[in-house]
Amino acid sequence: VITRNAGDEVKRAEELGYFKFGGSTVLLLFEPGRMVFDDDLADNSSTALETLIRVGMSIGHSPDVPQHTPDMRKSEDEITEAEKKEAKRRIQGNFAMEQSPSDSGDDDVPKRRLSYVPTMNTMAASAM
């Protein structure tokens, strides 16, 4: 909910608005020219691809400082099947391991069986 009007003067630490329950958006403000987004985020954004960001990950850097290299994207031929499966598990969760059709490249591995069918409540709780 935005609590300011267009044209209002805003000073440091003053409220611009607040988030109601149910959202997970984070808003970062930077002075022009003070920050450059990392290449992987810029590339994904230009193709409308959502990017999972975790605590501690680099999202950008000062223009006069080189980009943090551990967050750099690997070329397609450098990514192992194990890395693909781990990324898929992190993004989709364990529930997707049972449902996913042959896109991770390992169909011979026995599928995990759930002891119960997850509900929206159990899936939300597992994401916390």
Sign of CA dihedral 25, 28, 33, 38: negative
The residue ranges of DSSP E strands in the chain, in sequence order, are 36-37, 60-61
For the segment 52-61, what is each residue's pLDDT rounded down to a tens digit? 777 778 888 8
Q: What are phi and psi of 77, to 5 degrees?
A: -75, -10
Could you tell me the residue ranges of all domains in the chain? 36-71, 76-127
**Measured CA angle at 41 (ends 37, 43), to 5 deg:** 110
Tokens of 32: 């022009």
* Per-residue model confidence as pLDDT tens digits over 59-87: 888 888 887 776 566 778 888 899 888 88
CA 40/CA 68 separation, integer angstroms: 11
The answer to whether 40 and 72 are in contact (CB under 8 A) is yes
62, 51 Cβ separation under 8 angstroms: no
Q: Which of 20-29, 39-48, 79-88, 110-119 is least confident?
A: 110-119
